């Protein structure tokens, strides 16, 4: 399946991916409102780690055999059999964050529910990839069983 | 310390629009943006702003604006604020003033005073979308005369020729003065456009090994990175005598920019200053130049044309003639508005002559001497659009060197501080955190787009003139008319005044 | 091939699903004594406090079982296993099996107390039925007493505090949540719960006797002599592996059902066991423990399923990892949090309401306690699970962990999505 890959040698540490992720996952879809006025503030599902010398954006790897899905105590975290997307059903999630405790990549964020990358379902390209000014994020299928 | 010089710009942050994402803070290498101690509020400190617009262009909400810092001096047409500020800077440092890019001084730009012709009724214009338009350009020495066998087959042994698909080439910019990513972007663009990029005097980085068939390699006074393989891994070799932005001046790449990569490409110790002397220490005459050209031809088995690049100075026509007679196949003339990574400001702003006049004079002199076909003329020194290129070709150029325009396509905002090595766009710097900002995969596309757009425009202009091959435009000064130029200027340019 | 699975929670369901993945044609029968299709047992406290609806608690849609040909038999309490005939008895009904998996889970442990057993307002808190019963009885006038301040007791207390007039918690140990918190952090958590939930704790104390009127408990008397008015008593002292069936069938047991730690096979080659009813070896200190955790149950169930269907899946090491929240306070712990011994060292970082304690064994991370500091905790978990030598790391382990803890090649692998 296609997922988002980060090229650390090209990451600018500008963190615009976070800004546009929040926007894409906001109520208003407006960059200013989403990042300044919305309450509760939307949570970015992608995070840039590192410093100006070396940085990279990390978001969900949509693993073949996701630990978060195994660990989910309510069945809220599932991997879609067709698309491969790992996503949270917010009606089922109780926010215990066991998924966060087992994700070896650090891709799950705390909110009222577990918050994670959904690859901007319905869009051709996730917002982070679309708005990366240096193409440090790419949305490709590198093959494999995933 | 008080430095008596007001800052140049003010960065204005619109608090209503700022979302404190900190993109500006993490992007400005001049530290004009910073966070409050709690890390929640982005603040501005304009002192070092050079108006490179990195923050402005990346700000997701358009919250930033750069304004000229307005601080009036008492009116004085002679002692302008600029001179006063430069004096203060020198009073502080005791040093030569340095600048980057071409001169910003308001000297006449003849391109803007030359108008192009178009066909009406007779010799009808051509629609470039319907009919083929030839802009392929062939550089190199042409034979004096052609002899043929009975069957019509040529018996002339052709000197080496270089075919490019557009009259636009990328001028010399060394790895060292610009980043490897910038050079690689140009190399990639050159390859896909069918034209050439120029390594400058910085040697050829191993990462560019795939681009040797579109490389011009330079031999300059420092002879950095020059060896037999370097000369042979090229389409042609260029001896750099001078540069438009700093005629008569050598180059100086400070040791801190000479990292491992630069040191390998230039074949000099890491951290040592890379000094290009003002003259080539083995060239004191046309005869000496002839010797070097001969040596290079020997080293390349007579397979590569050799170019000589000179700055446009007062007696440029005579020098061009001398170069032609010394055996050069190509002469590149660099006008005084040409760019640079670093030049003494006074030299850049006061030495040399405009490319328009130098080109016209050299072309005329070579024609008059009957040796124009021995060499190809390449014009350099600030081409801002396709019309400038068309005018240069009509004035006699075979091809043009462009550097600033592709750099602008890659993000350069002409902030003129290349010499500081803090280029926020990753062009004129070797700092890894800055060079990575320039992704060759994006930038080669932008440069290609630019040159393709210019190619389209050149074809359109040619079509309007009723010309379908760039060879018919070359030196065709009847296609040019001057506007508001003196008799003398018209005479040198070899063109008539508009209305004549 | 006939597969029978006893128990339909985490391990049972994972087992059935894995069998179906590897054997498309076998018959899978899952027997559950409960009246419900597989649901999220840990959600019962959220159901109690009204944070989740019953229909959202079901782990799969009913159509899922039909589509995957997994037969779930509810209300089927297994009464015996006949190993020679290879059958499972549910009352009079007989289920023959080729491969059997016991996922019977836990049973509540109830210490001896006078006058408690058989009373109508004394409840355990282990399944949806008990949660429903409690929810039905509890109201704004209820004074609830919870015995036990472990995970179940505390979650019950939290749920009740939203409904009841008062909640008292009695715990024999001197601190709350002893299985997931160390002494220091449990103090802070206790304070938070007291403030936010208005729960009263009676630590180092427990209920010894109840006073009743008819079948109804009216108050309880603590060991210390205190008497608490009580309209509802929740028995949450602890759980034990449910091994009755296995013992009756003469399978090897040792606190829990003994299994091969890699294949989940019991002492009978055609019988497997998975989940809370088994006993595991903690990979971090090599001790035999009952690690009653959802993740472990899923992994064990999946391995058992694979092995039963002739697959190759085996189990890695077991360790405990827990994440839980109380009134907005996020607790995340893993590994040997109460490790004692010279070989262990620890370091605590505390600021404001966040608390981070990392426990090391030499150059390796073996445990952590994170309170309101759980960002990217999974990276710590992976360091523990992989027994990573910390001297090879590049970043500061005490900062929020990220992939930049690892050197370039490892980081690149992880960015590609390959867990190391």
What's the rounded mean pLDDT across residues C287-293? Answer: 88
Q: Residue C303 burial by CB count (10 A; 0-12/13-18/19+): exposed, middle or buried?
A: buried
Provide the percentage of residues in chain A whose pLDDT is more than 70: 97
Q: Residue C96 burial by CB count (10 A; 0-12/13-18/19+): exposed, middle or buried?
A: middle
Distance CA C104, CA C33 (A): 10
**b/e map of C14-26 (b: 16 or more CB within 10 Å)?**
bbbbbbbebbeeb
C122 bridge partner residues: C233
Chains near B (3 or more Cβ pairs under 8 Å): A
- Give yes or no for a contact between C173 and C205, defined as CB atoms under 8 angstroms apart: no
* Per-residue pLDDT reduced to its tens digit, B167-180: 999 999 999 899 99
Can you name the CATH fold of B9-95? Alpha-Beta Plaits (3.30.70)
Confidence of residue A144 (pLDDT cuts 50, 70, 90): low
B432 in contact with A, Cβ within 8 Å: yes
Whether A8 and C415 lie within 8 Å, measured CB to CB: yes
Confidence of residue C111 (pLDDT cuts 50, 70, 90): confident
Asked whether residue A20 is assigned to any structural domain, the reply reads yes
Structure tokens at B189: 């663009």
Residue among C316, C327, C52 nearest C162 (CA): C327
Q: Between chain A and chain B, how many beta carbons pairs sit less than 8 Å apart?
A: 52
Number of residues that this document lists for chain C: 420
Distance CA C200, CA C190 (A): 10
**b/e map of C134-153 (b: 16 or more CB within 10 Å)?**
bbeebeeebbbbbbbbbbbb
* Per-residue pLDDT reduced to its tens digit, A81-100: 889 999 999 989 988 899 99
Distance CA B400, CA C152 (A): 80
Whether B436 and A15 lie within 8 Å, measured CB to CB: no
Span of B370-379, C140-149, C192-201, C408-417 with lowest mean pLDDT: C408-417
CATH number of B137-497: 3.20.20.70
Using an 8 Å CB-CB cutoff, list chain C residues near A8. 411-412, 415
* Residue C59, CA atoms < 13 Å, CB-side half-sphere: 28
What's the rounded mean pLDDT across residues B472-479? Answer: 96
**b/e map of C205-241 (b: 16 or more CB within 10 Å)?**
bbbbebebeeeebebbbbeeeeebebbbbbbbbbbbb
Quick count: other Cβ atoms within 10 Å of Cβ C278?
Answer: 33
Whether A56 and C415 lie within 8 Å, measured CB to CB: yes
Distance CA B382, CA B386 (A): 11
Q: How, if at all, do strands C271-273 and C99-102 pair?
A: parallel
| One domain for residues A28 and A67 | no
Q: Give the one of B21, B432, B442 whose C-beta lies nearest to A35's C-beta.
A: B21
Q: Give the one of C59, C325, C375 whose C-beta lies nearest to A95's C-beta.
A: C325
The pLDDT value recorded for residue B348 is 95
The pLDDT value recorded for residue C420 is 53
Structure tokens at C63: 């159509």
Given a cut of 50, whether residue A145 has pLDDT beyond it is no
Structure tokens at C192: 């938070």
What's the rounded mean pLDDT across residues B82-108? Answer: 94
Question: Which residues does A contribute to its contact with B (CB < 8 Å)?
Answer: 9-16, 18-20, 31-32, 35-36, 52-53, 131, 133-136
A141 in contact with C, Cβ within 8 Å: no
Given a cut of 60, whether residue B376 has pLDDT beyond it is yes
Distance CA C330, CA A112 (A): 11
What's the rounded mean pLDDT across residues B228-245? Answer: 95
The pLDDT value recorded for residue B213 is 95
Q: Phi, psi at residue C350, to the nearest 5°?
A: -135, 130
- Computed over its alpha carbons, how large is the radius of gyration of chain B? 24
Confidence of residue C273 (pLDDT cuts 50, 70, 90): very high
Give the three-class secondary structure for C20.
Answer: helix
* Per-residue pLDDT reduced to its tens digit, B285-333: 999 999 999 999 999 999 999 999 999 999 999 999 999 999 999 999 9
The pLDDT value recorded for residue C49 is 87
The pLDDT value recorded for residue C352 is 84
Q: Give the one of B60, B436, B442 whose C-beta lies nearest to A9's C-beta.
A: B436
Asked whether residue A77 is assigned to any structural domain, the reply reads yes
- Give yes or no for a contact between B340 and B243, defined as CB atoms under 8 angstroms apart: yes
What's the distance, Cα to Cα, between the start and end of chain B in Å? 61
| One domain for residues A53 and A122 | yes
Confidence of residue C399 (pLDDT cuts 50, 70, 90): confident
What's the rounded mean pLDDT across residues C33-54? Answer: 91
- Computed over its alpha carbons, how large is the radius of gyration of chain A? 15
The pLDDT value recorded for residue C419 is 61
What's the distance, Cα to Cα, between the start and end of chain A in Å? 6
Distance CA B176, CA B419 (A): 11
**Mean of the per-residue pLDDT values of chain B:** 95
Domain definitions of chain B by residue range = 9-95, 137-497
- Give yes or no for a contact between B111 and B387, defined as CB atoms under 8 angstroms apart: yes
Residue among B364, B348, B304 nearest B328 (CA): B304
**b/e map of C318-336 (b: 16 or more CB within 10 Å)?**
bbbbbbbbbeebbbbbbbb
* Per-residue pLDDT reduced to its tens digit, B135-184: 999 999 999 888 888 888 888 889 999 999 999 999 999 998 999 999 99
Give the three-class secondary structure for B124.
Answer: coil
Give the torsion sign (CA, B462, B468, B469, B473).
negative
The pLDDT value recorded for residue B448 is 98
A105 in contact with C, Cβ within 8 Å: yes
- Give yes or no for a contact between C319 and C385, defined as CB atoms under 8 angstroms apart: yes
* Residue B60, CA atoms < 13 Å, CB-side half-sphere: 26
C and B touch with 3+ CB pairs <8 Å, answer no
What's the rounded mean pLDDT across residues C72-76? Answer: 94
Query: What is the extent of the structural domain holding A97?
Result: 62-105
What's the rounded mean pLDDT across residues A136-140? Answer: 94
- Give yes or no for a contact between A91 and C56, defined as CB atoms under 8 angstroms apart: yes
The pLDDT value recorded for residue B315 is 95
**Residue C73: enclosing H or E segment and its boundaries?**
strand C70-73
Four-CA torsion C175, C178, C180, C184, nearest 10 degrees: 40
Using an 8 Å CB-CB cutoff, list chain C residues near A6. 415
Q: How, if at all, do strands C364-371 and C354-361 pair?
A: antiparallel
Distance CA C318, CA C275 (A): 11
Distance CA C165, CA C140 (A): 5
Provide the percentage of residues in chain C whose pLDDT is more than 90: 73
Asked whether residue A86 is assigned to any structural domain, the reply reads yes
* Per-residue pLDDT reduced to its tens digit, B423-461: 999 999 999 999 999 999 999 999 999 999 999 999 999
Give the three-class secondary structure for C71.
Answer: strand
Q: Phi, psi at residue B361, to the nearest 5°?
A: -65, -45
Q: In chain A, whose CA is at the least distance from the CA of C50?
A: A94
Distance CA C55, CA C35 (A): 14
Given a cut of 70, whether residue C139 has pLDDT beyond it is yes
Four-CA torsion B218, B422, A54, C393, nearest 10 degrees: 100
Q: In chain A, whose CA is at the least distance from the CA of B438?
A: A134
Angstrom distances, CA of residue B2 to CA of B7, B46, B417: 12, 16, 22
Give the torsion sign (CA, C281, C285, C291, C297).
negative
Give the torsion sign (CA, A123, A127, A129, A132).
positive
Predicted TM-score (pTM) of the model is: 0.89
Q: How, if at all, do strands A55-58 and A47-50 pair?
A: antiparallel
Q: Give B16's contacts (C-beta < 8 A, 6+ positions apart).
A: B63
Distance CA B288, CA B272 (A): 29
In C70-213, alpha helices (H): 128-137, 151-161, 183-197
| One domain for residues A1 and A50 | yes
Q: Give C205's contacts (C-beta < 8 A, 6+ positions apart).
A: C170, C171, C172, C222, C223, C224, C226
Distance CA B351, CA C29 (A): 93
Given a cut of 80, whether residue A146 has pLDDT beyond it is no
Using an 8 Å CB-CB cutoff, list chain A residues near B411. none
Structural domains of chain C, with CATH: 2-105+242-308 (3.50.50.60), 108-238 (3.50.50.60), 328-416 (3.30.390.30)
| One domain for residues A48 and A94 | no
| One domain for residues A73 and A121 | no
Confidence of residue C409 (pLDDT cuts 50, 70, 90): confident
DSSP string for residues in C191-224: HHHHHHH-EEEEET--EEEEEEETTEEEEEEETT
| One domain for residues A51 and A68 | no
Our count of domains for chain A comes to 2
Structure tokens at C350: 């505390």
The pLDDT value recorded for residue B153 is 87
Of the residues B13, B14, B19, B441, the best mutation for testing chain A's interface (the one with the most A CB atoms within 10 Å of its CB) is B19
The pLDDT value recorded for residue C40 is 93
| One domain for residues A125 and A55 | yes
The pLDDT value recorded for residue A20 is 97
């Amino acid at each position: 399946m296609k997922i988002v890959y980060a090229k650390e040698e090209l990451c600018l540490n500008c963190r615009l991916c976070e800004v546009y992720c929040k926007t894409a996952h906001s109520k208003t879809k407006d960059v200013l409102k989403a990042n300044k006025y919305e309450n509760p503030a939307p949570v970015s599902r992608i995070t840039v780690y590192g410093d100006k010398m070396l940085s990279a954006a990390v978001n969900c790897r949509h693993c073949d055999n996701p630990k978060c899905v195994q660990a989910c105590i309510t069945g809220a975290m599932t991997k879609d059999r067709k698309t491969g997307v790992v996503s949270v059903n917010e009606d089922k999630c109780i926010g215990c964050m066991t998924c966060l405790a087992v994700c070896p990549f650090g891709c799950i964020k705390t909110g009222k529910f577990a918050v994670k990358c959904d690859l901007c379902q319905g869009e051709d390209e996730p917002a982070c990839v679309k708005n990366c000014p240096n193409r440090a994020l790419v949305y490709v299928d590198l093959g494999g069983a995933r | 310390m008080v430095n008596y010089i007001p800052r140049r710009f003010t960065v204005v942050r619109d608090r209503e629009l700022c979302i404190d994402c900190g993109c500006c803070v993490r992007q400005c290498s001049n530290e004009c943006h910073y966070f409050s101690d709690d890390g929640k509020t982005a603040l501005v400190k304009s002192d070092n702003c050079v108006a490179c617009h990195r923050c402005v262009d990346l700000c997701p909400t358009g919250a930033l604006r750069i304004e000229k810092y307005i601080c009036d001096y008492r009116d004085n047409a002679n002692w302008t604020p600029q001179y006063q500020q430069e004096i203060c800077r020198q009073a502080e440092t005791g040093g030569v003033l340095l600048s980057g890019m071409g001169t910003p001084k308001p000297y006449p730009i003849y391109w803007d005073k030359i108008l192009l012709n178009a066909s009406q009724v007779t010799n009808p214009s051509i629609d470039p979308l319907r009919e083929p338009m030839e802009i392929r350009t062939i550089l190199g020495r042409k034979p004096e005369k052609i002899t043929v066998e009975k069957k019509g087959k040529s018996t002339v042994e052709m000197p080496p020729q270089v075919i490019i698909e557009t009259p636009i080439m990328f001028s010399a910019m060394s790895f060292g003065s610009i980043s490897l990513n910038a050079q690689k972007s140009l190399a990639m663009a050159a390859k896909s456009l069918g034209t050439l990029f120029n390594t400058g005097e910085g040697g050829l980085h191993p990462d560019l090994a795939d681009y040797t068939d579109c490389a011009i390699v330079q031999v300059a006074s420092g002879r950095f990175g020059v060896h037999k393989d370097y000369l042979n891994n090229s389409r042609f070799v260029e001896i750099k005598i001078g540069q438009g932005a700093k005629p008569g001046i050598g180059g100086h790449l400070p040791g801190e920019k000479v990292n491992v990569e630069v040191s390998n490409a230039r074949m000099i110790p890491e951290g040592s200053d890379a000094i290009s002397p003002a003259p080539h220490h083995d060239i004191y005459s046309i005869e000496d130049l002839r010797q070097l050209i001969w040596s290079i031809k020997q080293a390349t088995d007579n397979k590569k044309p050799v170019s000589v690049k000179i700055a446009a100075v007062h007696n440029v026509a005579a020098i061009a003639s001398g170069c032609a007679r010394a055996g050069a196949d190509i002469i590149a003339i660099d006008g005084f508005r040409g760019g640079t990574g670093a030049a003494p400001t006074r030299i850049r702003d006061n030495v040399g002559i405009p490319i328009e006049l130098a080109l016209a004079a050299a072309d005329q002199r070579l024609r008059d001497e009957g040796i124009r076909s021995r060499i190809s003329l390449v014009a350099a020194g600030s081409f801002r659009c396709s019309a400038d290129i068309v005018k240069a070709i009509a004035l006699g150029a075979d091809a043009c060197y462009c550097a600033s325009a592709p750099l602008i396509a890659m993000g350069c905002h002409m902030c003129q501080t290349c010499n500081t090595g803090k280029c926020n766009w990753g062009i004129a710097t070797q700092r890894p955190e800055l060079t990575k900002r320039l992704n060759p995969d994006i930038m080669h596309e932008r440069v290609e787009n630019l040159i393709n757009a210019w190619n389209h425009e050149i074809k359109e202009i040619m079509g309007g003139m009723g010309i379908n091959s760039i060879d018919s435009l070359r030196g065709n000064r009847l296609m040019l008319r001057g506007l508001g130029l003196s008799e003398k200027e018209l005479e040198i340019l070899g063109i008539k005044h508009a209305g004549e | 091939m006939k597969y029978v699975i006893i128990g339909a929670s985490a391990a049972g369901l994972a087992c059935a699903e894995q069998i179906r993945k590897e054997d498309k044609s076998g018959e899978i029968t899952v027997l559950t004594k409960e009246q419900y299709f597989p649901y999220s047992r840990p959600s019962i406290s959220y159901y109690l406090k009204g944070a989740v609806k019953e229909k959202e608690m079901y782990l799969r849609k009913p159509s899922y079982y039909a589509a995957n040909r997994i037969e779930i038999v509810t209300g089927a309490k297994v009464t015996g296993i006949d190993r020679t005939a290879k059958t499972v008895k549910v009352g009079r009904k007989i289920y023959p099996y080729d491969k059997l998996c016991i996922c019977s889970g836990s049973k509540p442990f109830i210490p001896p107390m006078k006058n408690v057993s058989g009373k109508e307002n004394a409840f355990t808190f282990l399944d949806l039925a008990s949660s429903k019963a409690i929810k039905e009885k509890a109201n704004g006038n209820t004074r609830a007493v919870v015995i036990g301040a472990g995970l179940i007791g505390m979650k019950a207390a939290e749920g009740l505090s939203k409904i009841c007039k008062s909640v008292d918690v009695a715990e024999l140990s001197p601190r709350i949540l002893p299985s997931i918190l160390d002494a220091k952090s449990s103090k802070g958590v206790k304070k938070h719960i007291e403030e936010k939930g208005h729960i009263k704790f009676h630590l180092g104390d427990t209920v010894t006797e109840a006073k009743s009127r008819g079948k109804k408990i009216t108050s309880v008397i603590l060991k210390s002599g205190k008497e608490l008015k009580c309209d509802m008593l929740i028995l949450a002292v602890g759980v034990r592996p449910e091994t009755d069936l296995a013992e009756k069938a003469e399978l090897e047991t040792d606190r829990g059902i003994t299994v091969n730690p890699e294949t989940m096979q019991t002492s009978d080659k055609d019988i497997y066991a998975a989940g809370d009813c088994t006993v595991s070896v903690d990979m971090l200190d090599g001790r035999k423990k009952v690690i009653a955790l959802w993740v472990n149950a899923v992994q064990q169930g999946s391995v058992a399923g694979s092995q039963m269907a002739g697959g190759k899946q085996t189990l890695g090491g077991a360790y405990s990892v827990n994440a839980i929240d109380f009134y907005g306070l996020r607790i995340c712990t893993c590994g040997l949090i109460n490790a004692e011994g010279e070989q262990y060292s620890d370091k605590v970082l505390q600021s404001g309401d966040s608390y981070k304690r990392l426990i090391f064994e030499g150059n390796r991370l073996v445990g952590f306690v994170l309170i309101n500091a759980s960002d990217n905790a999974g990276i710590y978990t992976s360091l523990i699970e992989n027994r990573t030598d910390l001297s090879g790391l590049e970043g500061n382990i005490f900062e929020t962990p990220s992939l930049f803890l690892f050197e370039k090649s490892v980081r690149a692998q992880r960015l590609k999505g390959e867990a190391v």
